[in-house]
Chains A and B, each alone.
Chain A
Amino acid sequence: MRVDDDSPFEVQGAFAEHGAALYSFALNALGDRAEAEDCVQEAFIRAWRSRDRYSTSRGSVRTWLFAITRNLVIDALRARARRPAPSDPEKIAWASEPVTEDLLIVERLVLYESLATLTYEHREVIAAVQLDGVGYQELSERTGIPVATLRTRMYYGMRSLRTAMGGDAHDDGNAFAARGAHRRGADGRPQ
């Protein structure tokens, strides 16, 4: 079910369509399942509470939900940075560093969000080959997918990723495109 059109915001439909991508972004950005779940839950609650003020003219539901989730992720990272030390060793080390002041952290958030917006098939090959250094042949043996198909997925996946990292439309890319309007209100709208 699509909820991006002129239909009103509906929580369950929106979660079915965008929940996995939002959770993937939050999980990778925070490195912690419980915190990621809390961020996504809070994002949907905030969206639901602001649903009457939401207008499709401001962008898609996906863009809106990513904007809210991004702010919550940044808040969670800031809160973590104020604490003495992460208690959970699963939490990635960089996430306890100062947040938006650190360009590398901002860049990682851009990349995690961009990767989260890709299809699973595109992300799978990019994560394995580009991030983990696995060869196409090895990945083909692991997955049973022909090398030619993996390469084609890499090509289209990298094109989508490039758009997501720097484009201006979230449906074809990523909400971090609007990097100039980094700080938004609690409901995801520019302040």
Chain B
Amino acid sequence: MPSRRAELIAGALTGDLSDHERLELDQARAADPSIDVELAELRSAAARLDAADITWREEPPPASLAERIRAATSEAAPDSEDEDRRSAS
């Protein structure tokens, strides 16, 4: 079952499998060698994240940003239209 395969690979990726799941993964790997290939690829990606030592800050853009952009592109309209025409000629 694809989602179970995904679950087991994700668990193995972070060393988070129970003994029973580890056995289940071993059986799945024996039947499907592509699991080992994929696990190696994802481990490589995870290693890059780890080596870069980064954190992630999840914040939406402030509501005012859309308005600032709208205002700036509206105000800039006449000048930039002229500029485009000049550079095109």
Contacts and interface: CB of A to CB of B under 8 A. Distances in A.
Interface stretch (A11-19, A79-87, A174-182): A11-19
Contacts of B69: 11, 15, 19, 40-41, 44-45
Contact of A23 (B3, B60, B83): B60
A60 interface: no
A158 interface: yes
A148 B7 contact: yes
Nearest to B43: A158
Contacts of B13: 154-155, 158
Interface in A45-77: 45, 48-49, 52
Given A154-B13, A154-B14, A155-B9, A48 B54 contact: no
Interface string B35-69: 00000011011101111101111111110011011
A16 B6 CA distance: 32
Q: Which of A45, A107, A135 has the most CB of B within 10 A?
A: A45
A15 B50 CA distance: 31
Nearest to A105: B52
Contacts of A124: 58
Contact of A111 (B7, B10, B48, B66): B48
Contacts of B11: 136, 151
Nearest to A14: B69
A40 B46 CA distance: 28
Q: Give the dominant DSSP class at B's interface.
A: helix
Contact of A12 (B44, B46, B51, B66): B66
Contacts of A136: 11, 14, 16
Given A41-B69, A45-B72, A158 B48 contact: no
B41 to A, nearest CB: 6
Interface of B: 3, 6-7, 9-11, 13-14, 16, 41-42, 44-46, 48-52, 54-62, 65-66, 68-70, 72-73, 76, 80, 83-84
16 contacts: A23-B59, A31-B57, A44-B73, A49-B76, A115-B56, A120-B58, A124-B58, A136-B16, A151-B6, A151-B7, A154-B10, A154-B13, A154-B14, A155-B7, A155-B10, A161-B49
Interface of A: 11-12, 15-16, 19-20, 23-24, 27-28, 31, 33, 37, 40-41, 44-45, 48-49, 52, 104, 107-108, 111-112, 115, 120, 123-124, 126-127, 129-132, 135-136, 148, 150-152, 154-156, 158-159, 161-162, 165
Q: List the 3 closest A-B pairs by CB distance, nearest first.
A: A155-B6, A151-B10, A23-B61
